[in-house]
Structure 1
């Protein structure tokens, strides 16, 4: 228990800082740009991470929203209730997860629709002979063809959105003290550390996507949608009365460029 407590205090001193929430959006844009430039100018050799069947991609990234949802659900419920002692307030805050689910679903459906609208079906991976009778990616693949369209990076969107959402919700830990209840303290610390590890995985796989997959425009579009989804909720809508609201004891931040960039 002492070791978990020490780890939680160490991570809290890093991830819960307001500077992290302020600079992470710029960091994500920087990773997209840097990884894409590396991919175009000096491509890295094929590796385990460039294989879409790698364990992190199959068991974490493919289920990114499920991991984020099921860890944030108890974390928000427990920490927000401990901070407010208000069950209605907790229920209101939990609706942020419902909002996130709607955002995830609508954006992924939009990406698929754009790929259908901008693509064509081909008979081979060289994209030289058209299958004109197939008008959607699903029909094309079912017929054994190869669809080529504007494939927006769903990984860039979802991983950026999940990482930002987790960091925003962990802001409740800034002034939360559960040390008087040892069992609760242990549960909160374990959830906090699990979310912190998940955030690091999302950031690492976000960089991997930037280095190995998609075109720059596809990754930039996906990342931009993730940032807009975060900004539209936590920086605009959640500041209004008719919304899930922000975590208790939250320090509001404006989305401004850090001074070193000016």
Structure 2
């Protein structure tokens, strides 16, 4: 009874926050401010922290498969909420189709960004030179590099060489997109409870997992900006994530449910 009461109180508070109109209206602005000014945290954080290492298990386990974690938890929450309310498989699939749209955007932008990086970047191989030449190069501040033409970024980095070119941070893009998606999809739970919707422990647990995942993505976003600042690649990644959210959730989905539009979260569910 105590654990169930704790679950109810915790999820009610989280649902009230995420469903608040003020939070929904300004969350993207908060996220934009974090991306713009987050790199300034590098002046105060310690480079000896465990989060200053790319080999940390949070980066290895969650960041590299961030879309998978988001898709599993948000998809499970959407499926259980939609199907338990309406018992309509078509309506449930329509709400799940928003995840398919976002996944397609993520994969498509990955391909486009890889093509852009390979088209605008170049691969360089550090040269082994005589000590007197090496000292001269170090004093000038420019290492001696040999241009390797025809190499892609993946082959260049795997071969231990240097890649230089125009890049967009895919990690920041993914985290920004997942945060906005989680905020939109979970915001429906607060109004659903206010309308007297039934909510068993499984639904509340899935909602709580989504909230914890949103908190984790925000924490990893802070870590990447603070410990691995890369301007302007991270800013471009965040802008691309916000643009994707703006086009879909704030634009296309407002057209209403139809054969070409999945509609907004909660449409067809939030009725008295």
**Interval of TM-score (by shorter of Structure 1 and Structure 2):** 0.7 to 0.9
| Cα distance in 1, alignment partners of residues 89 and 178 from structure 2 | 25
Q: Among residues 180, 189, 205, which one is paired with 1:173 in the alignment?
A: 189
**1:86/1:234 CA distance change after superposition, 3 Å:** same
| Cα distance in 2, alignment partners of residues 128 and 176 from structure 1 | 63
User: Does 1:18 find its partner at 2:21?
Assistant: yes
Q: Superposed, which structure 2 residues align to 1:154-193 within 5 Å?
A: 154-177=170-193, 185-193=200-208
1:81 shift after superposition: 2.5
Which sections of structure 2, spanning at least 5 residues, go unmatched?
A: 128-141
Give the count of matched residue pairs. Answer: 246
Three-state SS of the structure 1 residue aligned to 2:145 is coil
Larger radius of gyration between Structure 1 and Structure 2: 2
1:214 shift after superposition: 4.2
User: Does 1:247 find its partner at 2:265?
Assistant: yes
Partner of 2:238: 223
Q: Give the TM-score taking structure 1 as reference length.
A: 0.86
**1:104/1:118 CA distance change after superposition, 3 Å:** same
Q: Residue 156 of structure 1 contacts residue 223 of structure 1 at CA under 8 Å; is this kept in 2? A: yes
Three-state SS of the structure 2 residue aligned to 1:122 is strand
**1:95/1:127 CA distance change after superposition, 3 Å:** farther
Three-state SS of the structure 2 residue aligned to 1:44 is coil
1:142 shift after superposition: 4.2
Q: Superposed, which structure 2 residues align to 1:128-147 within 5 Å?
A: 128-147=144-163
Q: Give the TM-score taking structure 2 as reference length.
A: 0.83
Q: Residue 97 of structure 2 contacts residue 262 of structure 2 at CA under 8 Å; is this kept in 1? A: yes
| Cα distance in 1, alignment partners of residues 41 and 157 from structure 2 | 31
Partner of 2:135: none
Question: For the aligned residues, what is the CA RMSD?
Answer: 2.2
Which sections of structure 1, spanning at least 5 residues, go unmatched?
A: 251-262
Three-state SS of the structure 2 residue aligned to 1:53 is coil
1:216 shift after superposition: 1.9
